[in-house]
A and B are shown apart, each in its own frame.
Chain A
Amino acid sequence: EVQLVQSGAEVKKAGESLKISCKASGYTFSNYWIAWVRQKPGKGLEWLGIFYPSDSDVKYSPSFRGQVSISVDKSINTAYLQWNSLGASDSATYFCARKMGSSSGWYQNWGQGTLVTVSS
């Protein structure tokens, strides 16, 4: 069974750094793109970017490039989303998701979400 298990909720102050994780199991981690999606309270889904563990190819939404960093540790089948300096506007729930199919493929499996709260 494919599972994506995300790290727990975080409460941080503006200006602090943060790295949240998404541990994958039940499939060959390197062979599938893994994406991060943001959802602010009461709002829709926003795509941040995607990483391909096999060759470390990474793509970012222009809206988030330079604001976040996506990485993986293939040795422990884990993807990360990182901020160097959080702002109040980063308060949201963040989901990781495994992409299936080709470049135009779909997100078959999702993590449970990580709630990030940033106070100013």
Chain B
Amino acid sequence: SYVLTQPPSVSVAPGKAARITCGGNNTETVHWYQQKPGQAPVLVIYYASGRPSGIPERFSGSNSGNTATLTISRIEAGDEADYYCQVWDSSSNIALFGGGTKLTVL
């Protein structure tokens, strides 16, 4: 199976936009999760750009080639969390998670 590559950390000032990348195969079907300390993950984007109900419009996703990007606009302190990308590897019949990106709000 292959790997999904995320930057270990991203820092951004309040009010600015944060962009977190996920590189690998099948990123056109990537899903993104937010996880705050001590909590279960929460889905924020599905199939690269779909936004579940209840997720603010500030969260958006895109994909180009083998790289998916999660963009969080107008960053707030409450967005500070770990973010994980995930895909399904159909050749191995397993789900893969990226290593996670810690988003720090300066």
Contact in complex: B96, A47 (CB < 8 Å): yes
- A26 interface contact, C-beta 8 A: no
Contact of B90 among A101, A103, A108, A110 (CB under 8 A): A103
- A11 interface contact, C-beta 8 A: no
Contact in complex: A59, B94 (CB < 8 Å): yes
| Chain A interface, DSSP helix/strand/loop, else mixed | strand
Could you say which residues of chain A place their CB within 8 Å of the CB of B31? Answer: 106-107
Contact in complex: B41, A110 (CB < 8 Å): yes
| Chain B residue nearest to A60 in the complex (CB) | B94
Quick one: which of A63-120 are within 8 Å of B by CB? 95, 97, 100-101, 103-108, 110-113
**Interface size class for chain A?**
20 to 34
Could you say which residues of chain A place their CB within 8 Å of the CB of B92? Answer: 62
- B15 interface contact, C-beta 8 A: no
Contact of B94 among A47, A101, A107 (CB under 8 A): A47
Contact of B86 among A95, A103, A107 (CB under 8 A): A107
Contact of A44 among B46, B90, B97 (CB under 8 A): B97
CA separation between A50 and B88, bound complex, in Å? 12
Q: Max chain B CB contacts within 10 Å: which of A50, A59, A106, A110? A: A106
Q: Max chain B CB contacts within 10 Å: which of A45, A110, A112? A: A45
Would you give the shortest CB distance from A40 to chain B, in whole angstroms? 12
Q: Tell me the A residues contacting B by CB distance below 8 Å.
A: 35, 37, 44-47, 50, 59-62, 95, 97, 100-101, 103-108, 110-113
Extra pairs beyond A44-B98, A110-B41 (5, CB < 8 Å): A47-B86, A47-B96, A95-B41, A101-B46, A104-B88
